[in-house]
Structure 1
Amino acid sequence: MRTTRTTRDGHSGTGPGAITPDGCAVELYERLLVGDEPDVIASRTPEGGSILELGCGVGRVTHPLVARGFAVTAVDESAEMLERVRGARTVHASIEHLELDERFDLVLLSSFLVNTGDEEVRAGLLATCGRHVADGGVILIQREAEGFYDDLPRESPMRGTGTIRIASEEIAPGLRANQVDYIFDDAQWTQFFRTRHLPDAAFEQVLAEAGLALVGYLTPNHAWAEAAALVPAED
């Protein structure tokens, strides 16, 4: 059954099955294959360490991390997504309002969430990272790399099977409206959402505004960044 759900301002989704508040389709994310995310995360987490995964979805990244022996607390605002997560502690909550009375060796903010079009939400996401990282711990952030919006619209194959089409337009200075189509032989999903691209200097500035500091970029395209809290956590 194909559904259409209009959620937040500028965010919606269409396609079979449940659609989350930010326009993501649960059944779609069950089909998507994991990339190098677990390798990047494992390289910065102590053996058997604790990970707070913010925006875990159906567990595409969670499950490989659990399999490697990490203690994962997986957070998502979608109950339908969390139902698919196995082997991890799950927390049903919005990321920007999360208040857990504990701290973690690594806090993970992936899926380009830092590039949200809502600056207030972005500040809340980063504040949550700072509240929950242990003293001396690591914050990992996945962000849009430079050139992310070059050569649009574009179409490319997805890992495994299917095709992804991306289109985007700037609707205000720095604010973009995006459409992504996920096309399979037996189904199709479309997601509409808004983002703000953050070049390196702007990204480092928003980190500083949130009380965080860039430690370094972990990949040549700067899509993965390591940050740390400027002020040590207080118990």
Structure 2
Amino acid sequence: MEYYSLLPTMGEPEIVHAAVPGGASVLELGCGTGRILRPLAALGHRVHGVDESPAMLERMGGLPATLARLQDVRLDRTFDVVLLASTTLNGEPSLRRAFLATCRHHVDPGGLVVFQQNAPAWFDAVTESSAEIAGIRRVVRSALRHGDRVDLVVDYHVGDRTWTHEFPRYAITSRELARNLREAGLRFDGYLTEDRSWFTARPV
């Protein structure tokens, strides 16, 4: 959790802000410490976060939030915008379908769902590597491919502190994405970035 509180934004709030109406109500599923929501609130959006980690939510800076699992949460209101960022969409496929159902449940009939996924080209390119962003050194120690899944072991270094994160990421084809969205009652709307890592969907 401490690592996530150190992460800077990397253009995410600006991408979301440019894609949605001014002053929109925004629900972020998997908001963590509010890394994206705090700048969106500063830009005039009415924000609400959901996360399953109490420790994360304690660092939200007083923004409204709900403690719940993303696949289970059902708030008693809808929002202009639902945000699912941090490549959560590329997790285990059954969870992906549950997350999409949560998105659909909470988006206004005329609203927008904003997604961040691993760029499709990333799955061919990811390999052992090291990079530094804002004083955080990210080392991909292992990237093992198993069909459409990549199992990653990533070390994050800040000063003399190190955090290790092991997790899978699943590639999503355009056809599979369209089917998953359709099954959830959503339709693909368009890409927000050239690398296709950000896109939007609308309720049907």
Q: TM-score, normalised by structure 1?
A: 0.82
CA distance in 2, matches of 1:186, 1:43: 37
CA distance in 2, matches of 1:91, 1:140: 19
The answer as to 2:136 corresponding to 1:136 is: no
105, 123, 139: which one aligns with 2:97? 123
CA distance in 2, matches of 1:202, 1:145: 15
- Counterpart for residue 89 of structure 1: 64
Q: Which structure 1 residue ranges, 5 or more long, are not aligned? A: 1-25, 231-235
Q: Is the CA contact 1:207–1:214 (under 8 Å) kept in the aligned structure 2? A: yes
CA distance in 2, matches of 1:87, 1:151: 37
- Counterpart for residue 4 of structure 1: none
- Counterpart for residue 48 of structure 1: 23
Q: Is the CA contact 1:44–1:138 (under 8 Å) kept in the aligned structure 2? A: no
More moved, 92-101 vs 39-48:
39-48
- Counterpart for residue 156 of structure 2: 182
- Counterpart for residue 73 of structure 2: 98
| Identity within the alignment, % | 34
92, 104, 110: which one aligns with 2:85? 110
Q: What is the CA distance between 1:140 and its match in structure 2? A: 0.2
Q: Is the CA contact 1:66–1:87 (under 8 Å) kept in the aligned structure 2? A: no
- Counterpart for residue 9 of structure 1: none
Q: What is the CA distance between 1:94 and its match in structure 2? A: 0.4
Q: Is the CA contact 1:177–1:195 (under 8 Å) kept in the aligned structure 2? A: yes
Q: Which amino acid aligns with 2:36?
A: V
Deviation per CA, 1:145-173: give whole Å up to 9, x if none. Answer: 02213151121112x113111231123x3
42, 48, 58: which one aligns with 2:33? 58
What SS class does the counterpart of residue 122 from structure 2 fall into?
coil
What SS class does the counterpart of residue 99 from structure 1 fall into?
coil
Runs of 4+ with >3 A deviation: none
Deviation per CA, 1:18-76: give whole Å up to 9, x if none. Answer: xxxxxxxx110111110111111111222222000100001111110111121111100
Q: How does 1:188-199 map to 2 (within 5 A)?
A: 188-199=162-173
More moved, 202-211 vs 139-148:
202-211
What SS class does the counterpart of residue 127 from structure 1 fall into?
helix
Higher helix share: 2
CA distance in 2, matches of 1:48, 1:155: 38
Count of residues paired in the alignment: 202
Q: Which amino acid aligns with 2:131?
A: S
What SS class does the counterpart of residue 72 from structure 1 fall into?
strand
Q: What is the CA distance between 1:87 and its match in structure 2? A: 4.0
Q: Which amino acid aligns with 1:92?
A: L
What SS class does the counterpart of residue 19 from structure 2 fall into?
coil
Q: What is the CA distance between 1:186 and its match in structure 2? A: 2.0
CA distance in 2, matches of 1:211, 1:176: 28
